[in-house]
Amino acid sequence: MPRFKLIIEYDGGGFVGWQRQANGPSIQEALEDAVLAFSGETTEVAGAGRTDAGVHALAMTAHIDLASDRFEAKRVRNAINFYLRDHRISVLSAETAPEDFHARFSATRRRYLYRILNRPAPPALEAGRVWFFPRPLDAEKMADAARVLLGKHDFTSFRASHCQAASPEKTLDALEVSRVGDEIHIRAEARSFLHHQVRNMVGTLGLVGEGKWRAADVEKALAARDRAAAGPTAPAEGLYLVDVGYVGAPGC
């Protein structure tokens, strides 16, 4: 049974998230329907993560198993994209993968980008793809506060109340803040993240950027191990899954 590794780009607007759900269209559902349409096979498209409603991906990794061995990787990519033409989803690449490869469990790191449009005028072209924040933000102070969160910690204060992870402990390998023109970019990297962890960290750093909090307040919130102690959850539309790393892949 051939296994294919897929790299997928998508706009999360209009979807309930990656995972198939009964309350609306999902990325996973659209992909599985496309696979069924070209192959006649019902199979799970297993993703490296479960992005929320409105969250985008530049390079989500997934895998599928097909019973038939008549499909080459290039044909798999092109056929899926043909049936996805009415969706803002694109399979960037497809390649055969070992039987023991798993998009989620084989992953060694995940990288996210959060985009804040920080200017007085609202977005026209980037609406739904950035967090529009019209008040001034100090990116340097945000960057200083972000360093408090680096390393291994109990991230309960930055975890969604309905997070299903077995432990709140995670190791944050990178959390970088920089200004790029009118935007502030926040880049986060870890082996895995808690539900809403990145968005909750961004919302908290936003308080620092506004001058309402200092780095010491972020440190205090982290130590509290209480979601109510940290800042608000940043909107989903500014978040992008940048890529997923695996053993032997560049940068891993």
What one-character-per-residue DSSP string does 129-170 give? Answer: TSEE--S---HHHHHHHHGGG-EEEE-GGGS-TT---S-SEE
In CATH, which of 3.30.70.660, 1.10.3720.10, 3.40.225.10, 3.90.1720.10 is domain 109-244?
3.30.70.660
| % of the chain exceeding 90 in pLDDT | 93
pLDDT at 252 over 70: no
Position of tokens 């496309």?
A: 34
- Three-class DSSP category at 201: helix
**pLDDT band for position 100 (cuts 50, 70, 90):** very high
Collect all residues with Cβ–Cβ distance below 8 Å to 118 and sequence separation of at least 6: 133, 134, 136, 137, 179, 182, 183, 184
Phi-psi sector, 40: left (phi>0), alpha (psi -120 to 50), beta: left
Q: What is the pLDDT of residues 25-74, one digit of tens each?
A: 999 999 999 999 999 999 999 999 999 999 999 999 999 999 988 899 99
Handedness of CA 166, 168, 171, 175 (dihedral sign): positive
* 178-196 residue pLDDT tens: 999 999 999 999 999 999 9
How far apart are the C-alpha atoms of 104 and 13, rounded to whole Å? 23
Above 60 in pLDDT, residue 251?
A: no
Count of Cβ atoms closer than 10 Å to residue 223 Cβ? 13
> Is 250 a residue whose pLDDT tops 60?
no
What per-residue confidence (pLDDT) applies to 69?
Answer: 87
Q: Which residues are catalytic?
A: 52
**Which structure tokens are listed for 175?**
């959390």
Per-residue pLDDT at 112: 98
Partners of residue 189 on adjacent β-strands:
111, 174
pLDDT of residue 249: 66
pTM, two decimal places:
0.95
Sign (positive or negative) of CA dihedral 137, 140, 145, 149: positive
Rounded to whole angstroms, how far apart are CA atoms 252 and 246?
Answer: 6
**CATH code of the region 3-97:** 3.30.70.580
Residue 123 above 70 pLDDT?
yes
Residue with tokens 């940068």: 251
* Domain boundaries defined on the chain: 3-97, 109-244
Say if 3-97 and 109-244 have the same CATH topology. yes
pLDDT of residue 247: 85
pLDDT digits (tens, 9 = 90+) for 125-151: 999 999 999 999 999 999 999 999 999
